Chains A and B, each alone.
Chain A
Amino acid sequence: MRNKEVEQKIKNAVEHLTPDVLDCILSECDERRGNVYIVQPMKRKGRWMYAACALAAAFVLVFGGLSAFGWISAHQVDALVTLDVNPSVELKVNKDDRVLAADAKNEDAVKILDNMDLKNTPIDVAINALIGSMLKHGYIQENSNSVLLSVESVNGAKSAVLQRNLTESISRQLNRVNGAVISQNLTNDGELQTLAEAHQISYGKAALVQKILNENSHLLFADLAKLSINELNLLIGSKHIEAKGMEAQGSASDTAFIGEERAKQTALEHAGISESEIERLRIELDYDDGAMVYDVEFYHNAQEYEYEINAKNGTVVEHDRENRDRDDRREPPAAPQSHNKDDFIGEARAAEIAEKHSGVPRHTGMKVELDKEDGFYIYEVEFDADGKEYEYEINAATGEILSWECEEM
C-alpha cells in the first residue's frame, strides 16, 4: 500500500464523518452580533413536480370530462433528457416527445440557451439545436469531444428508445469532430440527486461520476465532479468501466494529454530500462492530487515499478520501486541472514548506497536506522533533496536495495 492510498482512506473517512453544522454556526454568529438572520432552507423543486401536478389534475379529470385529457397528457413530464458537455441542459419532455421546458443547469448552459425557444419543439430537433450551438460556441471540439446524454423516465421502454435514437442523431452530428457520446438510462435516486445539487452538477453527470466511483474507491466524488465530461469519458475508457444502461460510442479525445505511449516512455527513461526488458506493463489514466495522471506499472528483475506521470505536462509526479516478493518476506529468506550485527554493512555504507542510487548530490536530514522486519534486518535510510523525500530499505547483510520511494514534500 502506498502512502497516498493510506492518506486517501483517511481523507475519505473524515469526509464521511464530518457533520454539517453550518446552520448552527450562522445562527450563533447572529446571536453574537445581536441581530437575527434567517437561514432560508433551500427549497428543492421536485424533479417530478410537473408529474405530480398532472396527477392532481387527473383527479379533476374524473369530474371534468374527457376534453381535459388531451391537455394533461401534453403537459405532463414523461421523460427528462439531460445533455452535458460542460454546458448542462435539462429538457422536460412530454408523451409526444415534445419539449415542455428547457433548464440551464450551469452558467455555460445559459449562454447556450440564450434566445433559444425550445418549447413545444420535438426532442430530437431540440437536441440537434443544442449540439449545434455547443459546437458553434466551441464547447465541443477536437480536444474535448465528449457529450453525455442522460435519459430518465418512469417508462423504461420509452427511455431506451429515446436513448438509442438521440445517441444516433448526436453521433451523426458530431461526425466531423470525431465526437464521442456516452449515454445512460437513469432511474430516480434521491441521495444522488442531493449529491448532484451539493456539487452543482446535473443529475446525469452525478450518475456518471458514481459509476466511476463504484469501481474506484480511492477517488472522491468532489474531485470527479470538477472534471469535464471528456475527462470522465477518458477515465471510463481507460479503466474499462461498464455499467447497466450505459453505452459509449466513439472515443474520447486525449489530444489535450501526452497519451499513454509518451507516459510509458517517460517512465522507462526515468527508470533507465528499455521496453524489451519489462513485463506486465499496465497503463491507466487516473486522478490524483488535483490532476489527471497516468499510472504506469511494470516489472523488471523481480522488481515492481510504479510511476505517476502528469497527463498534461508529462512530469514524473511520483515513482517507486519495490521487490515483488517483498510481501512474502514473512517466509524465511532464501539465504538465512546472520543475526550478528558485526556482519552487517553498517549505517555509513547503507547511507552511501542510497545516496549513490538517488543520484542527488546535496541532501539534508539524513537518517539511517537498523530495523527488524519479520525477523529480517534492514537499514531504513531517509533524506530530503530538491523538495523531495527519499526513503530506502536496504538488506542489512548484503547491501541490496529492497525498495525505494521518492515523493514530493
Chain B
Amino acid sequence: MFFFGMASGAEEWSDALCESCLGKIAAHDKNALGALYENTKNAVYGFALSIVRNTQDAEDVLQDTFVSIYASARNYKRMGKPMAWIFTIVRNLSLMKVRDRRKTSDVSEEEWRLLTADEAPVTSEDRLVLTAALGKISPEEGQIVMLHAVAGFKHREIAEVLELPLSTVLSKYNRAVKKLKSVLEGTGAHAE
C-alpha cells in the first residue's frame, strides 16, 4: 500500500521504529501513520476489546486512537516507551466509552454468531478463545492477558500501563491463564 516505504516487511517492529514514526506523524506524515497503524492495530484493538468488551466499541476506540495519535503526536516525549504512551491513550478512550455506556456490555452470543457468520477469518476456535478471554476472566485479568499475548508486553510494562503493582499483575496473569487453559482444555467447570 502507499505507506509501505516506511515499514519494510523485513524490518522488525521496535520501540525505536515506533518513536521515529511518531516523530513523522507529528509533522503530519500520513504514511508514517499508516505504518504505525499496520504494526499496532491488533494490539490496540485487542486491548480496547478487553476493556469495552464488545466489538463495536472496540472498533470505535481503534479508530479514535489513531486519530488522537495523529492530533497529539507532537506532545509525545521521546522516552523510549512509545507503546506505553499509545496504550495509555487506548485505555483512556476505552474507559470513556465504558463510562458513556455506564456499564460494560459483554459480547452476546448473538453478536458472536453474527461475527463468525460475516467475518470469514474468524474461526470457531477464535470464537471459543475470545469468549473465554472476555467472559470467563475478570476485565482486569483480560487486559493483562491481552497486553501480554497480543502486544507482547512484559509484566513490568503492563504494571506501568495499568498502574498496578508488578506482583498484582503477575498473580492476576497466572490466575487468568490458568482459567483460560482449563476452559480451552475443556475442563471449564473446574476453573470457576
Q: Which residues of A contact B (CB under 8 A)?
A: 1, 3, 6-22, 24-26, 28-29, 32-33, 37, 39-40, 42, 107, 198-201, 217, 225-226, 289-290, 365, 367, 373-374, 382, 384, 389, 391, 409
Contacts and interface: CB of A to CB of B under 8 A. Distances in A.
A382 B148 CA distance: 18
Given A10-B146, A11-B150, A32-B71, A17 B115 contact: yes
B34 interface: yes
B93 interface: no
B9 A25 contact: no
B122 A17 contact: yes
B155 interface: yes
B67 A1 contact: no
A290 B11 CA distance: 12
Interface string B5-41: 0001110100000000000000010100110011001
B28 A33 contact: yes
10 contacts: A1-B184, A6-B184, A7-B148, A9-B184, A11-B150, A15-B42, A16-B121, A18-B42, A25-B63, A25-B70
Given A7-B148, A8-B149, A225-B9, 10 more contacts: A3-B177, A6-B180, A13-B133, A17-B45, A22-B41, A28-B63, A32-B70, A373-B190, A391-B174, A409-B155
Contact of A14 (B1, B10, B49, B156): B49
Contacts of B34: 22, 26
A230 B1 CA distance: 27
Contacts of B125: 9, 13, 217
Which of the four size classes fits the interface of chain B?
35 or more
A344 to B, nearest CB: 21
A389 B30 contact: no
B87 interface: no
A42 B34 CA distance: 14
A11 B2 CA distance: 26
A199 B125 CA distance: 24
Interface in B112-134: 115, 119, 121-123, 125-127, 129-130, 133
Given A18-B42, A199-B9, A10 B2 contact: no
B55 A17 contact: yes
B109 interface: no
B59 interface: yes
A28 B60 CA distance: 12
Interface centre among A9, A10, A28, A198 (most CB of B within 10 A): A10
A371 B166 CA distance: 23
